[in-house]
Amino acid sequence: MSDARGLGIGLVGDGRLAGSLAAALQRAGYGVLGVAGRESPSLASMFSEADIVFLTVQDSHVGEVAASLPWRPGQFAVHCSGALSLGALDAAVRAGAVAGCLHPLQSFPSRSPEPDRFQGITCGVEAPEPLASVLEQIARDLGSSTLRLEGVDRRLYHAAAVFVSNDVIALMSAARRAWTLAGLPEGLARPALAPLLVAAAANVQSLELGDALTGPVARGDVATVEAHLAALAAEPSLEALYRSLAAELLRVGKPVDPAARKALDDLLEASP
C-alpha cells in the first residue's frame, strides 16, 4: 500500500488512549471514522466501513472483544497492548483479518485527547506485511519511531516499560514516606521532590546512564549510604527498597573507587 492515509480507521474502546490516538491520527491526515465503545450504537456502522480497527481496550478484554466483532477477510485488526502477543487476536485471524500490534511507549493519564504525546516516542510494532508497513507509516506520521517486536519476550518488554513509568510513581510514594518520616509536611513532598524527578528523567534522555547518575552511590560515599540505611531501619520496607535500588545503581557501571565499591557491596548485602 503506497499511503496508509487512504485507509478508513476505526477505534474500539473509549479510554484515554483512544482519544489521544484518534486526535493524533486526524491531525496527521488520516481518515478516522470514529471512536466507539463496546456498547456504542455507532460501533456496527463504523466497524463495517473500517479498513483498520484499533482495539484500545484493557488487555484482559482484547481477546473477548476481538471474538465479538464481525471481521471480514483482509481487514486489519490491531491491538495496542505491550504485554499481549498477536495470539490475543486469534478470533479475528480465524475470520480472515490480519492481526497486528501498535504499542506506544508512552503514558496517557488524561481523559482529554493529548495528540502531542506521540511526538518523539517509540512505538512497538508487530505484524505481517502489508500491515507492518502500514503501522510503521502511521507511527512515523504521528511523530514516533518504531521498534519491531517479532521474537521479543513481550512480558519482559512490557515489564521494562512498567519500571520507568508506573514504578516511578511508586518511587515518588516511597520518597514521600521518607520525607514525612523526617518530620516534613506531607503536602510539600511532591512539589519539592518532583523537580528532582524531572531533572533525572531529562538526564537519562540526554546522557548515558553512567553520566546521568549522581548522588552518594555514584560518589562512592559509603558513610552517607550507611546513614540512610540506619535512618530507614524503622521502616523495613523502605530500607529494603533502598538497598535494592542502590545495588542496581552499582550495576550502572559508573567508575567508583574499588575500595568504596567493595564497602558498598558489603553494606548493601548485609542483613538489615
Q: Would you call the peptide bond into 130 cis, given omega within 30 degrees of 0 as the criterion?
A: yes
> What number of CA atoms fall less than 13 Å from residue 3's CA on the CB side?
6
- Same domain? 216 vs 145: no
- Same domain? 120 vs 27: yes
- Say if CB 238 and CB 174 are below 8 A apart: yes
- Same domain? 119 vs 166: no
Distances from the Cα of 138 to the Cαs of 30, 32, 111, 163, 259, in angstroms?
9, 12, 22, 27, 52
- Same domain? 239 vs 130: no
Q: Which three cell numbers stand for residue 32?
A: 478516522
Q: Which of 99, 121, 152 is the last residue in one of the domains?
A: 152
Q: What is the dihedral of CA 120, 141, 50, 6, to 10 degrees?
A: 180
Residue 143 located in a structural domain: yes
Domain hosting 61: range is: 4-152
Residue 55 located in a structural domain: yes
Q: Which of 124, 152, 180 is the last residue in one of the domains?
A: 152
Q: Among candidates 21, 33, 25, 30, which has minimal Cα distance to 3?
A: 30
Q: Over the range 240-266, which residues count as b (16 or more CB within 10 Å of their CB) and which as e? A: ebbbeebeebbeeebebeeeebebbee
- Same domain? 21 vs 138: yes
- Same domain? 41 vs 119: yes
**Strand-strand pairing, 52-55 and 8-12:** parallel
For residue 56, what pLDDT is reported? Answer: 97
- Same domain? 102 vs 229: no
Q: Tell me the one-letter amino acid at 271.
A: S
- Same domain? 136 vs 37: yes
d(CA 202, CA 197): 9
The distance of Cα 206 from the centroid of its chain, to the nearest Å, equals 19
- Same domain? 136 vs 230: no
Residue 157 located in a structural domain: no
CATH of the domain at 143: 3.40.50.720
For residue 14, what pLDDT is reported? Answer: 83
For residue 270, what pLDDT is reported? Answer: 80
d(CA 211, CA 18): 37
Name the domain count of the chain. 2
d(CA 62, CA 85): 11
Q: Among candidates 83, 92, 24, 101, which has minimal Cα distance to 63?
A: 92
For residue 255, what pLDDT is reported? Answer: 87
For residue 216, what pLDDT is reported? Answer: 96
Q: Among candidates 96, 88, 92, 204, which has minimal Cα distance to 154?
A: 88
Q: Which of 92, 123, 152 is the last residue in one of the domains?
A: 152
- Same domain? 20 vs 140: yes
Q: Over the range 178-194, which residues count as b (16 or more CB within 10 Å of their CB) and which as e? A: bbeeeeeeeeebeeebe
- Same domain? 91 vs 202: no
Q: Show pLDDT as tens, one digit a residue, over the chain (272 residues).
A: 568 999 999 999 988 999 999 999 999 999 999 999 988 999 999 999 999 999 999 999 999 999 999 999 999 999 999 999 999 999 999 999 999 999 999 999 999 999 999 999 999 999 999 999 999 999 999 999 999 999 999 999 999 999 999 999 999 999 999 999 999 999 999 999 999 999 999 999 999 999 999 999 999 999 999 999 999 999 999 999 999 999 999 999 888 899 999 999 999 988 66
Residue 241 located in a structural domain: yes
For residue 180, what pLDDT is reported? Answer: 98
- Same domain? 90 vs 216: no
- Say if CB 69 and CB 92 are below 8 A apart: yes
